Amino acid sequence: ETGVTQTPRHLVMGMTNKKSLKCEQHLGHNAMYWYKQSAKKPLELMFVYSLEERVENNSVPSRFSPECPNSSHLFLHLHTLQPEDSALYLCASSQAIGTPTVGDTQYFGPGTRLTVL
């Protein structure tokens, strides 16, 4: 596997379920990100991890809980979601958070299409 992979690609869950999204990067990067992509809205940054430490939490509800056990893996744990949480959830990684001269280009995974019933 190369690049950034995400599993599952599609997920349907009820409002009382607990599920997790998984992201894995095979690029040797130190920073990882979760984004939410909803129809007709800009991508929303949810969380940023650098060297396994959370450095940004963009006012995301507590029903979304991220976990970064090492620099290659990022999880998004979901519980008691609402129908409006249905969206495409994208993971990304970059070499660093840094400046234009450092490797801060973000590489995205294919996303998990989440539907909350």
Q: Which of 42, 62, 70, 84 binds other proteins (CB under 8 A)?
A: 42
Sequence-ordered strand ranges (E) for 8-61: 10-13, 18-25, 31-37, 44-50, 53-57
Q: Which of 48, 81 has the CB closer to other proteins? A: 48
Minimum distance from residue 16 beta carbon to other proteins (Å): 29
Place of tokens 């976990």: 67
Kindly state whether residue 56 participates in binding other proteins, applying the rule CB under 8 A. Answer: yes
- Separation of alpha carbons 63 and 78, rounded Å: 6
Minimum distance from residue 6 beta carbon to other proteins (Å): 8
Q: Which of 12, 51, 61, 105 binds other proteins (CB under 8 A)?
A: 105
- Separation of alpha carbons 116 and 85, rounded Å: 7
- Give the pairing type, strands 112-116 and 10-13: parallel
CA 91 remoteness from chain centre: 4
Kindly state whether residue 103 participates in binding other proteins, applying the rule CB under 8 A. Answer: no
Site for other proteins in 57-86 (CB under 8 A): none
Which residues contribute to the site for other proteins (CB under 8 A)?
A: 4, 6, 40-43, 45, 48, 50, 55-56, 90, 92, 97-100, 104-111
